Amino acid sequence: MFKSFLGNSPTWFKLTMIGFFIFNIFSYYFLGKTITSWIFIFEFIFTLAMALKCYPLQSGGLLAIQILILNLTNPHNAYHEIASNLEVILLLVFMVAAIYFMKPLLMYIFSKIFTKIKSKIVLSLLFVFISAALSAFLDALTVTAVLISVATGFYGVYHKIHSGDSDYDHEGQLDREQLSGETLEEFRSFLRSLIMHGIVGTALGGVMTLVGEPQNLLIGEKMGWNFIEFFLKMYKITVPVLFAGLLTTILIEKFKIFGFGAKLPNVARTIIENYTEEEDRNRTDKQKTALIIQAVAAVILVVALALHIAPVGMIGLGLIILQTAFMGITEEHQLGHAFEEALPFTGLLVVFFVIVAMIHDQHLFQPIIESVLAMDLDKQPTMFYLANGLLSAISDNVFVATVYINEVKEAFDSGAISREHFENLAIAINTGTNLPSVATPNGQAAFLFLLTSTLAPLIDLSYGRMVKMALPYTIVLTIVGLLGVMYFL
């Protein structure tokens, strides 16, 4: 039973998890509910950090079951958290599957971009800017699904050539010999850096608009702001942050620090270029038709999300139906593959909501909120920004924003603060939950989705490496955002 417990995870990890389960029981009875709840949070973060050794659904899920058994929260409250986030769950189930059917189109476009743009700095800036622009009008998780799909497809091309007997560069040496060893590591590093630039771009764009992140909608609703008003309230902070992010991209690529700077190896570029050209030549009429259908679906996706004609998940389901109907994909097993990528993460997200329900029921953030609200009015925006940033890095930024905006709304309704101060605090909460939360994969669902995707082990992207690569962005975005809050609010 010990061998099969948590599968092929290291023995020390299995023993650590068993140690956690035993210690938590003693902690509950001798240290009390509050301390035990904080211990559970750090144990859950540990399971996320070990995502490449053991998928967190199992290890984190067992912790969530123990939380329910110890009555630190109950199934009803956990269900309430899940119901509040149903739109995110529907997005993961259906939108990610819709993106799966667009993979040939994405590969067609991005293989051209990858091989034609020779400058890594220009390519990196393009990834950050496109991700930011899309996230401002669509949503970060959908953009992340596109990034993961592109990187996985591109790695798949490399692997296909690497495991075959081809010679696409016509140099008399098999491609698999040229693409092994250091070339493979360099290629992984190249993909890893691009995907991290893109994922940070989703945060840079997401903070700017009403629809960029789920908590933005919540804050906008409480404040009565429309799309334009929200942007105008935020731009004094968010626009300088965007430019600071782009400057950071240039510097870390130029000086090759924090794991960035790797270029697409020339031999790999030539081989992949020739491979894609041959693919283009051999494309059948059916495949060409499929690309047109996917392009139409992509236009519908952008327009539907920008106009918000329906919840994101429902738009995703509509796109699945349109694409599969017109591409002739009508067998159940063909449809099943599209859902494989997102469903494990959807399960993990539901487990995460149990942890969030525990934080809520045990009032773990209450002392921090009360201490900030007790400060001088002119210090409050800065402290709200910092407190939101810190808590978002260890918890979920949507949950943190929800707790804070509700507390501030109560203070405003009771007449304790003016409308102007209420607006300043709302801006501080929005920027605080969106910017410093790039520090860890816990804070942003998009980051967590990437960490637990099938792509992460392919490009060797662990929790620790993700934190390290996000560090320069975390420092710059947090400081620039803080200066904005201090001087513009």
Q: How far apart are CA 245 and CA 317, in angstroms?
A: 34
Q: How far apart are CA 254 and CA 257, in angstroms?
A: 8
pLDDT tens per residue, range 154-170: 888 888 777 776 666 66
pLDDT band per the 50, 70, 90 thresholds, residue 428: very high
pLDDT tens per residue, range 254-270: 999 999 999 988 888 88
pLDDT tens per residue, range 171-215: 666 666 667 778 889 999 999 999 999 999 999 999 998 878 888
**pLDDT score at 417:** 87
Q: How far apart are CA 399 and CA 354, in angstroms?
A: 12
Q: How far apart are CA 380 and CA 378, in angstroms?
A: 6
pTM comes to 0.87
* Position 429 pLDDT exceeds 90: yes
Q: Taking the CB of residue 274, how many other CB atoms lie within 10 A of it?
A: 18
pLDDT tens per residue, range 304-350: 877 878 888 899 999 999 999 999 999 998 899 889 878 998 999 89
**pLDDT score at 168:** 64
Q: How far apart are CA 83 and CA 88, in angstroms?
A: 10
Q: What share of the chain is helix, strand, coil (3-state, %, to 5)?
A: 80, 0, 20
- DSSP H helical segments within 329-452, as ranges? 332-340, 343-361, 366-373, 380-394, 397-413, 419-434, 445-451
Q: Residue type at 453?
A: S
Spatial CA neighbour of 154 closest among 250, 279, 259: 279
User: Assign residue 111 a region: left if phi > 0, alpha if psi is -120 to 50, beta otherwise?
Assistant: alpha
**116 contact partners, CB below 8 Å, separation of at least 6:** none
| 179 close to 253: Cβ distance less than 8 angstroms | no
Q: How far apart are CA 222 and CA 405, in angstroms?
A: 8
Spatial CA neighbour of 269 closest among 190, 380, 200: 190
Spatial CA neighbour of 201 closest among 86, 123, 262: 123
The pair phi, psi for residue 225, each rounded to 5°, is -95, 140
| 126 close to 113: Cβ distance less than 8 angstroms | yes
| 243 close to 476: Cβ distance less than 8 angstroms | no
